[in-house]
Structure formats: C-alpha cells, structure tokens
Amino acid sequence: MTSLASGERRAGIDAAVSQLADLFGDRLSRSPSILDIHGRDESWHGTLPPDAVFFPESTDEVARAVRVCAEHRCPVIPWGAGTSVEGHTAPLHGGVTFDLSGLDRILEVNADDLDCRVGAGVKRKQLERALYDLGLFFPIDPGADATFGGMASTRASGTTAVRYGTFRDAVLGLTVVLADGQVIRTGTRARKSSAGYDLTRLFVGAEGTLGILTEVQLRLWGRPDKIVAAVCPFGSLAGAVETAMEVVQLAIPVARIELLDAAMVDAVNRYSDRSDPVQPTLFFELHGSPGAVAEQTEMLREITASHGGGDFAWSGEQAEREALWHARHHALYASLALRPGCKAFSTDVCVPISRLGDVLPESQADARSEGLLAPIVGHVGDGNFHMILIFDPDDRGERATVERVNERLVERALAAGGTSTGEHGVGFGKIEWVEREHGDAVDVMRRIRRALDPDQILNPGKIFRG
C-alpha cells in the first residue's frame, strides 16, 4: 500500500510532525521500526507506516497534539493494540498515529454500582485481572487482548454477546477529543438517560472518525457463582444450527454458544492439540446460580438430543474452560496453519437467526465449489459467523476467488435482512459493503462526519468514501 498524501497535505504533515517533536520530544517517534509496527494490524491488508507515532500519556496531551494536527490539517490515526482486521489503523492519507497504550490506568472501579472508568489504552485482560478479587468481570470478549478504546471504536463483541450484548450495551460514557482538540464527556454513570442525543453510541463504532476516545466508562457484572462449559458434536451442520436457533428462541440464557464446522474442529484439534470429534460442533458456556445452570443444562440436553447432538463433554474447572476458549479464540491461527504461507480473509456477516439455516450451508457450499479452504466458526446465538477464507497472497486468481465468494456471501446476508459486518467493523476493507447495506443513510453519516470534522483529519478514508 502507499499513502495518498501529497502536495499541500504533505507539507502540513511535515509541519505538524516537526511541531509535535518540539512539544513532546522522544514521545514523538520517527524510528522506522516503530513506524513499521504501527503500519500493521491483524488483517489481510498490507502494511502502510504512518509519518510519525505519538505516545500521549493523558487526555490533555491528546488534545494538545490534535490541536497541532488540526492547525496543519495533518491526519490523526488513533491506535490501540493493533488487533483490528479491516485496516482500521492504516494511515491511508499519511499523518500521525496516536498510540494510546500509555493511557493505561484503571481510573475508578465502583463495585457497588457495577461500573468503572478506564483509560482508552487499558487492555481487556488487564481489567479482568484487576476485577477478579472484587468478584466482578467485564464480559465482552472479542478474543484478542484489545484495548477498550479499540473495542469501543469498532463496537466489538465476540463470544459472549448472546448473553451480555455488545460494546454498545456495555458502555455508559466516554471522554472524547474532538477534531479541533476540544474535550467532551458523554453519558453519565446513570444506567439510563433521556437527556439529549445519544452521543456515546454515536462515537462507539465510529472507528475514530468523529473523535479520539481517551476514557471509557463501562458497565461491569458480578462474576457468576457457577460457570460450566461444554462441547457437543452433531451428526450434521443443520442439527447444530437448529439447536442454536432453538436455544435462542426459547431464551435459554446461555453465556456462549459457538459453532465450529467439521473443518474448523479439525484445524483447532491440530493447532491446539485437542481431540474433539471432527464433526460440526457447538461449544457452550453457562453462567448462573447452581440451580439455574442445572436447569439450563437439562434444557440443552433435551434440545441437542432432538437435533442429533451427541454426548456433551463438560468442563467445570477453570483451567479446562480456559483451554477450551483459548482453542476457540485461536481459530484464525488454526485455520492459517492448515496451509502455511497463506493469508486468511475472515468474513463477518450477521443474519437474523432463522436465516442461518440457509445462509450458512449455502456459503459453505459456495466456497467449496470454488475449491477454497474455508473453515467456519460462528457466534451463532447472534446470527454472526466467520468463514475463514484461506488464500495464497501471491496467487492473484485465488485472491480474486476469495473476493468473489465474499461478495456473494455479503449479498446473501443483506438479502436475508442481515449486515455485512457483525463485529469486525469497516476500516477501509468493507467500505463498499457499508454503502450497499445502508444506501442513502450513508450520506447521513457523511454529513455528521463533516459537521464534526470538516477538514477530515480524524482517521480519513475509513467507513465511507468522502
């Protein structure tokens, strides 16, 4: 990839970088290795380093630096842990990447109110450790050890959304630096409010194009008395999908219900040294009081049996459960290991759950008929699944095939009333689909963007064109 910055934009970037270096010294880096790290993410997109990387240590420093960049119309790209997968942090128009990992303090934990406030650079596992002894937890788990700023900006979710919702539901308020350097707070610590526009949820999922998140006020949950996980193989993909549909329709409050097709079970077995039967499989997790978990277990047994499910393999111990979910979270790497040297394109559609029964097998058959290796893993309780399309990056024909299969997948999902991205976000990789999905509503997004960032300095080139 190459940056689109040129002419006047280029002169502005140079002026901003020079001024930031004067203001912040060592914390403005132009070291090639630092630039290179910040030009990558976990996507299949290429590398594109920024012109400089700034390491702020406070909201105030972010605001001061944004004012410098605004003066020179220099693009500002917020950066958390680099775990996004659609090129969200690529400096398409050059500019300065703001690495927010220094905003890494847990600022308050209000155990009685089940809420906390964290710096945007705090990571998921860091908060998990801090909350453990308080008997609390934050449920949203996209797999990667992402930052809270990053998870908020992509409206992340993951395996637990079926029970606890997505980042949208877990956030109470934000501290945001706007495009002109002004700092605002959105939301309050109240659980609900009707006091004006829901700016909190406007910034959540805006991928840094409307403001830079520097603090996040989160809801927390009490750690359940009992947690059990289980693996259940099925005779057919349809049986596993129908089970998931019935569980959701009956509102059994499972904490996780993940589908792996046989190809994915095979990949995960090899990669994580497991020996689950190579069949379409559901991974479950149940949270609750002992009585509630027992009741849910009994209901699950009945439903799975009626759809050709085999015996459950239960994991009550924490270490065993963690190994299970570790294996599940490494599905992407497990898929990549099937064909060394290749890259993976992870699709991310989400459909009304009743449509999983046709969209999922049709997509699987489509990928097969194109000769692709395409294991599937899905947060099926939400209707969200990932088909991991493996391809040789040097084979242009294969890459084109992958894009074609994804295009048909997205069209199938949109026709079913679904969305092109359930949780990964748009970055620049999915711009085309957002336009197809939302039609004229994209112009409303554009008008909001222009109203808040008229010079388009905040993460330009993401979510939509213009």
Whose Cβ is closer to its own copies: residue 21's or residue 292's? 292
Instruction: Please tell me the distance from the alpha carbon of residue 255 to that of residue 288, in angstroms, as a whole number.
Output: 9
Instruction: Please tell me the distance from the alpha carbon of residue 221 to that of residue 138, in angstroms, as a whole number.
Output: 6
Whose Cβ is closer to its own copies: residue 73's or residue 424's? 424
User: Per the structure block, which two tokens stand in for 329?
Assistant: 């979270």
Whose Cβ is closer to its own copies: residue 29's or residue 84's? 84
| SS3 of residue 236 by DSSP | coil
Task: Tell me how far, at minimum, the Cβ of 113 lies from its own copies, in Å.
Answer: 4
Residue choice 6, 58, 193, 318 for contact with its own copies (CB under 8 A): 193
Task: Specify the residue for token string 């996980």.
Answer: 229
Stretch 370-389 residues interacting with its own copies (CB under 8 A): 382-384
The DSSP symbol for 296 reads: H
Does 417 sit near its own copies (CB under 8 A)? Answer: yes
Instruction: Please tell me the distance from the alpha carbon of residue 2 to that of residue 328, in angstroms, as a whole number.
Output: 35
Task: Tell me how far, at minimum, the Cβ of 3 lies from its own copies, in Å.
Answer: 24
Pairing, β 136-137 against β 221-222: antiparallel
Q: How many residues bind its own copies (CB under 8 A)?
A: 89
Does 423 sit near its own copies (CB under 8 A)? Answer: yes
Residue choice 34, 40, 445, 456 for contact with its own copies (CB under 8 A): 445
Instruction: Please tell me the distance from the alpha carbon of residue 359 to that of residue 351, in angstroms, as a whole number.
Output: 8
Whose Cβ is closer to its own copies: residue 116's or residue 376's? 116
| Helical pair 59-71 and 8-24, crossing angle rounded to 10 deg | 150
Does 411 sit near its own copies (CB under 8 A)? Answer: no
Task: Tell me how far, at minimum, the Cβ of 422 lies from its own copies, in Å.
Answer: 5
Instruction: Please tell me the distance from the alpha carbon of residue 132 to that of residue 134, in angstroms, as a whole number.
Output: 5
220 and 275 Cβ atoms separated by less than 8 Å: no
Q: Is 459 left (phi over 0), alpha (psi -120 to 50) or beta?
A: left
Task: Tell me how far, at minimum, the Cβ of 49 lies from its own copies, in Å.
Answer: 26
Stretch 144-173 residues interacting with its own copies (CB under 8 A): 154-157, 161, 165-166, 168-169
Stretch 85-124 residues interacting with its own copies (CB under 8 A): 110, 112-115
Residue choice 109, 118, 437, 457 for contact with its own copies (CB under 8 A): 437
Stretch 203-222 residues interacting with its own copies (CB under 8 A): 204-206, 210, 221-222
